[in-house]
Each structure stands twice: as structure tokens, then as C-alpha cells.
Chains A and B, each alone.
Chain A
Amino acid sequence: MLDPLLQPLPEGLYVPAGDFFIDPMLPVAQAVVTHAHGDHARPGSGRYQVAAAGIGLMRERLGVDSLIDGHAYGERFAMGAVTVSLHPSGHVLGAAQVRMEHAGRVVVVSGDYKREADPTCTPFEPVPCEVFVTESTFGLPVYRWPPMDQVIDELLAWWDDCARRQVPAVLFCYALGKAQRILAELVRRTDRTVHLHGAMLRLVQSYREAGVAMVPTEPVSDSAHGRDFAGELIMAPPSAAGSPWMKRFARASTGFASGWMQIRGNRRRRGYDRGFVVSDHADWPGLLRSIEESQATRVYVTHGEGATLIRYLRELGHDAVALKVLRESDDESGG
């Protein structure tokens, strides 16, 4: 029997006592949205409750006409009989865990989260609860993220190497979150300009408006046709790989920034020259640590390698159960 506060319906995760959905995939009356990735934030619902820190991104995603209420992290508000508050999850700008209090019980839906420092967003806050709902995108012990400094070192070395060889360096990464995190990490080391694919422009602008410092950026489309990008770093979403858009970067060296790049087979299969291990999701130690810190007596595990994590948690003595939430897979937050 599932928790009375958590009811998976075709529209999304429904909270009966509050009559709202968390991250609904279909239009509903009342929605609480954890973060702005396309597989969590969908337009068409009546009213949205989101963290104030991400409201600019949400408007970008949900449409300027949508009714969106922004809440400071930790601010308590009522949704029916449920007291709701949003707490930072460290996933991307404005990403939130949803804390729900009802009839003396506390349930936390953590959404997507990570434990590593990220200059673009507020760090994950452990929220004590009775029931903790966790993601498990990287729910295997082979996923342990290297320090970001080390990854940025590798990235800069690759950029330098491309400059020496006079070829463009094209880095593929998700347009929301990953791209801005890398641009914000880079500004600590360099003031060189990075060229952006069109799909990233507005999102980067949104982050700038939210006060996130990043290296200077320039749209690729601003460059004259036939411009030589040798030695330049260009960032693009993975969907641009192999598209006609790539034609202007002759002989480019390509890289991909993703948690999946931890596995050599993935790197080789994807056919990128370089893989950089950067993820906005929790790694295995991050998942275990967050579950411990929640002090929850019951843990629900959504997507990813859920079965493995559940079995391991049970061996550690946790009451862990799968929570199947229908979510169309989306390239955006995939790793």
C-alpha cells in the first residue's frame, strides 16, 4: 500500500489531501513543479507553485501567460490540507524538493538532486522526514563523480589542445543546467568567450538575469558565415550532433559532458572524441548519503536503476519501495 499522500496517476504524482500534482505530465488544475527541465515542467496546467529562484526559467518553459507563484526556499504555504514548502535540491537553478506536512507526517519528494557544489544554484538541503522519495538515475556504485575542478582542468586542457591543433572544440551538453554550470565554472579560470548554439541562448540569458556569473558568450549565429572557429569552444545540445548545423565546424573535436561518460563503453559508443564526467544528478554515494540524512523510515525510489538501489537499501535495513511515476524520458535531464 502506497503512502496516502502519494498517488501515481497517469497525469503525474497526485497528492489527494492537497488536491495537487507534483510535476504533472498532462494539464491539471494545481501543480507543484520541482524544476524547469522539460520532463518535469509542462505547460497547460491551471496554476503552478515553484521556487522563486527558478521563476524566470519556469516562465521560459511554461509560457508567460501561465499562473506561476514563486516561493522562497523554506517558505510554508497551504495547498488544501497540506502544508507545503520548497527546499533546494542543488539540481539546477531554482530546483526544489517538495516538503509536505499533513496530519503530523512529513513526506519529502526530492525531485532530481545532486550533492556536489554548483555555482549556479543553492546547495541541496537535507530535510528530515518520515517518507523520502528519491531519484536513482545513477543508482549503481560505479557512478562516483570526480571533483569538478579536475573535470574543468581536463576541459581546459582539451580546449588548449584544440587551439594548438587549430580545430574547433564542440562540447555537447544539456541546454538547461549543465551548460550554465560549466560556463560558471569556467569564469573562475578564464575570461575567454564561448560560442553558443541557438537553443542555449535564452536559458543562458535567464541565468544571467538571476545573477549567475558566467564567461562571456556569443551566439554562433552572430558570426559571419564562413568564419573559422579554429581554437574556439562551442557549446551545443546533444541533438545538434550530426546535424547540418555542425557543418560549419569542419574537423571539430567533439566532447560530451554527462554522468554517463563515466563508463568507457558509453564514451566509445557515442562516438565523441572526449567524454567529461559532469552530472546534475546524485552519484551513488550522494544517493546513499541523502537517504541517510533524510532519517526517513520509508524510502520510495523512482526511475533509473531503481531495482538495484532498492535491493541494496533493503540489505542495509531500510524500508525501500519502488514508486513508478510515468515520465516520458527527455534528453534534457538525462544525465
Chain B
Amino acid sequence: MRRFAALYAELDRTTSTLAKREAIATYVDEAPPADAAWAAYVLGGGKLRRLAKSGELRQALAAATGYPDWLIEESYEQVGDLAETIALMLPAGNGKLSGVPLQTWMEERLPELGRLDSAARVEQLRAWWAALLPTQVFLLNKLMTGSLRVGVSRRLVVQAIAQWSGQPTDLIAHRMSGDWRPSADALNALGAPASADEHLADRPYPFFLASPLEHEADSLGDRAEWLAEWKWDGIRAQLMRRGDSVGLWSRGEERLDGRFPEIERAAFSLPAQAVLDGEVLAWDAVAGLPLVFTALQKRIGKLKPGPKLLADAPVRFMAYDVLEHEGVDLRERPLHERRALLARLLASTDATLMMSPPITRDSWSALAAQRESSRARQTEGLMLKRLDSPYRVGRKRGDWWKWKVDPHTLDAVLLYAQPGHGRRSGLFTDYSFGVWDGEALVSVAKAYSGLDDQEIGRLDRWIRAHTTERFGPVRAVDPVQVFELAFEAVQLSGRHKSGVAVRFPRILRWRTDKGIGDADKLDDLRRLASG
């Protein structure tokens, strides 16, 4: 743990990705391989199953410090991170367990913790804390309860391992995709030269992600060099057939197996070795359009869906691309070739597999006009892909652009605020907004982002000075401040008190020029939802 804590400190104190990559590569080179494998795993966002409840951590902290629960809560509210709050409040430990390797924590000690009963777990936590230094207490708590959040992306870990091993990043990325299990052997296999049939392993290819189009579309040049498609609003996924088995992987590289049986069944109509990239959509076969997103949401969480759910929210796989066919990795082939092959393949497969149709308007302006109908088609806008582009890894700018429709907006009044976490800890940054329902303001949306640091600071001070009531960490404030929110869609919802669910709300601007009388009305949202 000592060495890993030193790496963490080094990563935490620089904002330079180059310096971070160097630090990780050096650590991987110097640390015992099993520790390095676990470090790569957790830095890349991998987690253990949650081993201790936050209530148990709080209990152990109260026992270790003698502080009352409310004081622990107020401290947590200020710090915004329980793992850190604990490290800051505990009496200094003696460091006797500092030398226990990361591997031992991850493979033995922490899993054992999960098997204890709650009281024993609290005792064990206290004993560990007393034998670690503060930064190690912080890290141990993080490993038990969630991710490290130290400004290291999966991609950066991949690059560091590529640097350490001398192998190409795309190869490392593919090897670490899916459910990569850390061990000394796994680390060495990551850094080994590629074998000929390696791409046939049971894991997804790293996804290629589009960037938002920031200029006019005609700046992309000749329209004929670009494929235009709808930007479907579902779950991006890769569908994989490997002989007798089928896999469906989300963009987060989690297996979705069991949730969408109709897609898995349909995958057997693909050739024996094939991988498609596409979007899982809940589909209205009569209208020939996706169902509203909430229909798909009902399916996402449901393993082995029952007949009623299957009938109410049937799903389709809208294929964008083919990445592998008959065991051949096609990612370096130009997009137009892959699309031609995709069209041939899907001509004879199960109808659950659909091809995302090209939009054939032959000028940018005609395309822009077509984009205006995106919402009516339940899509988020358009995708523009260069026809001679390969299938790249990650978010590389230049070949794939998303050209989303402008969001809806509404003016709403700030009603409640709550302190944020991580970078925003100790500041009121999580807001609830309301609109008029007759004479009353009804909360309709929560938003976390959209203000700059200066505005956040200003609003934080205002909130502290204008709190009318406190409910735990949540503060009710004078209804005075009006904000313009953007959102993607609104749907009628029985689960929300306001009767509407606003999708992906975020703050566009602080409307200091507006009074609360200018805020929007709930009726208008209802109308938009039913329209």
C-alpha cells in the first residue's frame, strides 16, 4: 500500500496527463506485477463489490473518535467525501500495516471483510485504520466504497501500460476491455506481443466515440464524403457472436446478457464469428419509431424480463457498423466497405437486427432541414461519419461527429440546494428547480452542471445567506433566483410529484435579469410531454 499511496499522491498533485502517464508507467515498472495489475484495474475505474456500508464506516468513525453522529455528518457535508472525512478526523495511526501489498488487500483482506457480520466489520475497520497512515486510510476507504477519482481515465491507464510494455495502445485497450481480471499473469499478458487470432477473444472492441460538431456542417467539406445517420437515443452496444455463444456489451464495457433475450436470439442469425456496433432501442414496430426512452429504462434494470414487459417494450438492435466478420478484424477497413458488408449481412438476418439507415439528402442544407425533424423521430439529431474512416479507439476527433438538435429550454426558480461532492465538495452545487403550478412553485428538475466556478461561488454564498429551512444537507432557499435550464425531453410520469419527468436537465445560464414571475408553467411542460 505504501508504494500505491505514493503513486496516488503523485497523481493527485498534478493536472498534467503527461505527468500522470509517466507516474503510472514508472509504478507499473517498479511495483510487484500483481500490485501493478490491481493498480491498473482500480485506476481504470474497476471496483470491488461494495464491502462495507457507509453507515458502518460512520459507526466505526464515531467509535474511533468519540464524536457525535451529527458532527460527523456536518464534517462530511463540508468535505464531500466520506473516505476523506474519515482520514481527516481519525487520530493518527501507527502505520504498522503500511507494508501490506495492494494485492493482499484486494484479494484477501478486503474480501474477508465482506464476509464478516456488521459488528465485526466495524471492529475490523477500526483496527485497520489504527494501523495505517492517513493517506492510506483514505485509499483503503476508497477501495472499499467506490472509485478513486484521481483524474485518471481508463484511456490514460491504457496509454501508461502501452508505454511500459512497448505495445500499441489499441491492442492494450482491447485486451483490457470487457471483464479484465487483475493478476500478475494478466499484467504480463497485457504487455505481451500480439498473437494472430487474438481479436477473437470474448471481449468487445474498444468503442469509437463521436465528438460534438462545433462548427457549421458545411465546414466538413464535400457532402458526398460523409455518411449521415440519425443519432439514436438508446444504449450503445456491441453485439458479438462467437460460435455457440453470444455477447452483448454496453459502452461501459459491461455485459448486458439476459436483459435483452430477443437480441441475443437474433444474434444467432449472424455468421459464426461477427461483431456489430449499434444501439439497443425500445421499438414501436407499428409506427416504425423508437418508443420513449422510459420504455427502454424499464428494460435496462430487468434481468429475464417477463412476457408483459417483452410485449410492452420490445427491443431492437439498430446496427451502425460491423467490426468483425468471419473472424476477420475489419476496423482498419474504410467505413463504406463495412457499411456495404453490414447491409448484405442484415439482409438475411432476424428482423430484430436492423440497419441504421443512411440519410440521403445530398446537400448540407437539405440535411440541416432534415435534422429539424429529429425530435419527431425520437432521435437526438444526426451523426456524421467520414466514409473512408477506420473504426478508431475512443474519442478521436475528425472522423465522427454528433450533430445534436438544440435542446428545449425553460426558466425555473431555484428552490433547494445541496452540497456537491469531489471537486465541488463543501459548496452548494446540486440544485432543485421549480416552475409554477397555479400559485405554487413545484420542483421539476435537478441540475448539477452548467455554471462556472465564479458563479458557483457567488450562488453558494447567496444560498448560505438565504436559507429558509434545512433538511439534513438540503437547504430550502428564498424563491428568488431564476435559471434557464436546457433539457432533452419531458415525459408524463406517475413517479414524479410534479407529474412530469424532465430528461437530462442542465443549467444554461443564470437569469439575473428575470424575476420569478417570468418562470415557466407546469402546464406548458405537461403539454410538451403529451404533444
Contacts and interface: CB of A to CB of B under 8 A. Distances in A.
Interface of A: 140-144, 262-266, 268-269, 271, 273-274, 305, 308, 311-312, 315
B393 interface: no
B47 to A, nearest CB: 19
B71 to A, nearest CB: 6
Interface string B56-97: 000000000101101100110011110011001100000000
B84 A141 contact: no
Interface in B1-53: 12-15
9 contacts: A144-B88, A264-B12, A264-B79, A265-B81, A265-B84, A265-B421, A265-B425, A305-B78, A312-B68
Nearest to A308: B74
A140 B78 contact: yes
Contact of A315 (B14, B68, B421): B68
Contact of A273 (B14, B68, B424, B425): B14
B71 A263 contact: no
B79 A273 contact: no
Contacts of A265: 79-81, 84, 421-426
B14 A263 contact: no
B interface secondary structure, majority = helix
Interface of B: 12-15, 65, 67-68, 70-71, 74-75, 78-81, 84-85, 88-89, 421-427, 453
A231 to B, nearest CB: 17
Given A269-B453, A273-B14, A263 B425 contact: yes
Contacts of B71: 141, 308, 311-312
Contacts of B84: 263-265
A315 B68 CA distance: 9
Nearest to A146: B134
Contacts of B85: 142
A263 B78 contact: yes
A315 B69 CA distance: 12
Question: Which 4 A-B residue pairs are closest in the complex by CB-CB distance?
Answer: A265-B425, A142-B88, A268-B423, A142-B75
A308 B70 CA distance: 9
B88 A274 contact: no
Contact of A274 (B13, B65, B81, B423): B13
Contacts of B422: 265, 268
Nearest to A269: B423
B70 A311 contact: yes
A264 B426 contact: no
B399 to A, nearest CB: 32
Given A271-B15, A273-B14, A141 B426 contact: no
Contacts of A141: 65, 67, 71, 75, 88-89
Contacts of A305: 74, 78
Given A141-B67, A269-B424, 10 more contacts: A141-B65, A141-B71, A142-B75, A142-B89, A263-B80, A263-B426, A264-B12, A265-B84, A273-B14, A315-B68
